[in-house]
C-alpha cells in the first residue's frame, strides 16, 4: 500500500509540475531567462568600452611627464568610447522605459508629412558625418490620418535611415516611400546595401543582435536600434518587418493603423 500510495503521489506530482511549467510557470521562467540574457548582454556591451578607457587611463598614468598633445590619441579613443557608453545607456533607458510602459506617449492625429519631412535634416547630418554620398529619394503620396506620437515615429525613421546609410556602400540609393494596404499605412525605407540573409531577418529585431559583431563595433552599433524601433511600433499597435534580397539591398517596412 505504501509503495502504491507513494507511486500515485509521485505521478500526481509529475503531472502537476508538468502542467505548472506548461501553463503558468513557463512565461515566468521564459521572462526570467530573457531578462538575465538581457542583463548579461548589457553588461558585456558596457564592459568593452570601459576596459578600453581603463587601459588608456592606466597607460597615461605610467607616463606622467607627457603633455596632453602627446596623449591626444589615447584621449580621442577614450572620448569615442565615452560617446559609445552614452548612446548605449540612452538606448538601454529607452528600452527599459518602454518595457515598463512608463514612457508617456504623446498621441496626436496627424498626417504623415509631419514626420516624413523632419527626419531628413538629421539624416543629412548622418550622411555628412560618415562622409558618404547617397542619392536619397522621397516619394510621399498618400495623405491619410494617423494617431501617432510624431517624435517617436521620427525616431523609428531615423533608426532605419541611419542603418540604411551604415550598411549601404558609397553611391548607393536610399528611398523612402509610402503605401496603403487596406486599413494600414506603410512607410518603406529601401536601400541598395549589403542585404540581410533569411536566417538573420528573423533575428535582427532582437536586443543586441548584430549580423557582423566585429565590424559593427567600429560602426558604432550595439544592436539595439531595431529593437527600439519595434518597441515603438508595437506601442502604436503596428508592425515592422524587413524584405531583403542578398546582396542587392533591404527594405524595412513599418505599418500603422489608419485613423478613420
Ligand atoms: P546596429 O546598431 O548594430 O545597427 P540595429 O538593431 O539597428 O543595430 O540592427 C541590427 C543588425 O541588423 C545590424 O547590426 C545589421 O547587421 C543589420 N541591419 C540593420 N539594418 C540593415 C540594413 N539596412 N542593411 C543590412 N543590414 C542591416
- Cα of 27 to ligand 1 centre, how many Å? 28
Average pLDDT of the segment spanning 193-198? 92
| Ligand 1 atom nearest to CA at 193 | 24
> How sure is the predictor about 25, in pLDDT bands with cuts at 50, 70 and 90?
low
The cell 538575465 sits on which residue?
A: 36
Share of the chain above pLDDT 70, in %: 81
Closest residue (by CA) to atom 2 of ligand 1?
221
Whether this model's ipTM surpasses 0.90 comes out as yes
Closest residue (by CA) to atom 23 of ligand 1?
164
The cell 559593427 sits on which residue?
A: 216
> How sure is the predictor about 217, in pLDDT bands with cuts at 50, 70 and 90?
low
Which region among 17-21, 75-79, 185-189 has the lowest average model confidence (pLDDT)?
17-21
> How sure is the predictor about 257, in pLDDT bands with cuts at 50, 70 and 90?
very high
| Ligand 1 atom nearest to CA at 223 | 8
Integer Cα distance of 185 and 142 in angstroms: 9
Exposed e or buried b per residue across 168-178, where buried means at least 16 C-beta atoms within 10 angstroms of its C-beta: beeebebbbbb
User: What pLDDT, on a 0 to 100 scale, did the predictor assign at position 100?
Assistant: 64
User: What pLDDT, on a 0 to 100 scale, did the predictor assign at position 197?
Assistant: 93
Integer Cα distance of 113 and 17 in angstroms: 55
Determine contact, residues 115/157, Cβ cutoff 8 Å. Answer: yes
| Ligand 1 atom nearest to CA at 205 | 6
And the C-alpha cell for 97? Answer: 522605459
Closest residue (by CA) to atom 21 of ligand 1?
163
Which region among 58-67, 101-110, 119-128, 239-248 has the lowest average model confidence (pLDDT)?
119-128
Which residues, judged by CB distance below 6 Å to any ligand atom, belong to the binding site of ligand 1? 159, 163-164, 166-167, 191, 193-194, 196, 204, 209-212, 216, 221-227, 250
Closest residue (by CA) to atom 12 of ligand 1?
204
What's the pTM value of the predicted model, to 2 decimals?
Answer: 0.79
Average pLDDT of the chain to the nearest whole number: 83
Q: Which of 91, 123, 162, 166 to mutate to test the pocket of ligand 1 (most atoms within 8 A of CB)?
A: 166
Integer Cα distance of 173 and 161 in angstroms: 11
Question: Greater confidence, 17 or 90?
Answer: 90
Average pLDDT of the segment spanning 137-147? 82
Amino acid at each position: 500500500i505504501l509503495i502504491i500510495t507513494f507511486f500515485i503521489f509521485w505521478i500526481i506530482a509529475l503531472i502537476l509540475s508538468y502542467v505548472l511549467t506548461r501553463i503558468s510557470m513557463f512565461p515566468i521562467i521564459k521572462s526570467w531567462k530573457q531578462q538575465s540574457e538581457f542583463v548579461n548582454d548589457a553588461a558585456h556591451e558596457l564592459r568593452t568600452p570601459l576596459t578600453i578607457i581603463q587601459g588608456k587611463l592606466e597607460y597615461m598614468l605610467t607616463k606622467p611627464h607627457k603633455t596632453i598633445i602627446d596623449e591626444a590619441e589615447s584621449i580621442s579613443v577614450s572620448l569615442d568610447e565615452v560617446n559609445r557608453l552614452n548612446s548605449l545607456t540612452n538606448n538601454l533607458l529607452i528600452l527599459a522605459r518602454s518595457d515598463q510602459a512608463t514612457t508617456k506617449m504623446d498621441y496626436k492625429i496627424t498626417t504623415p508629412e509631419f514626420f516624413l519631412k523632419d527626419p531628413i535634416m538629421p539624416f543629412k547630418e548622418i550622411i555628412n558625418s560618415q562622409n558618404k554620398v547617397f542619392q536619397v529619394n522621397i516619394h510621399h503620396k498618400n495623405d491619410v490620418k494617423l494617431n501617432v506620437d510624431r517624435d517617436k515615429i521620427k525616431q523609428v525613421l531615423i533608426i532605419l535611415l541611419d542603418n540604411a546609410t551604415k550598411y549601404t556602400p558609397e553611391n548607393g540609393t536610399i528611398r523612402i516611400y509610402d503605401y496603403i494596404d487596406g486599413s494600414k499605412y506603410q512607410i518603406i525605407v529601401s536601400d541598395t546595401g549589403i542585404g540581410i540573409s533569411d536566417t538573420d531577418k528573423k533575428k535582427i529585431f532582437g536586443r543586441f543582435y548584430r549580423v557582423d559583431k566585429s565590424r559593427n563595433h567600429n560602426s558604432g552599433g550595439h544592436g539595439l536600434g531595431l529593437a527600439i524601433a519595434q518597441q515603438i511600433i508595437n506601442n502604436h499597435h503596428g508592425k515592422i518587418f524587413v524584405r531583403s534580397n542578398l546582396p542587392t539591398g533591404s527594405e524595412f517596412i513599418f505599418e500603422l493603423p489608419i485613423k478613420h
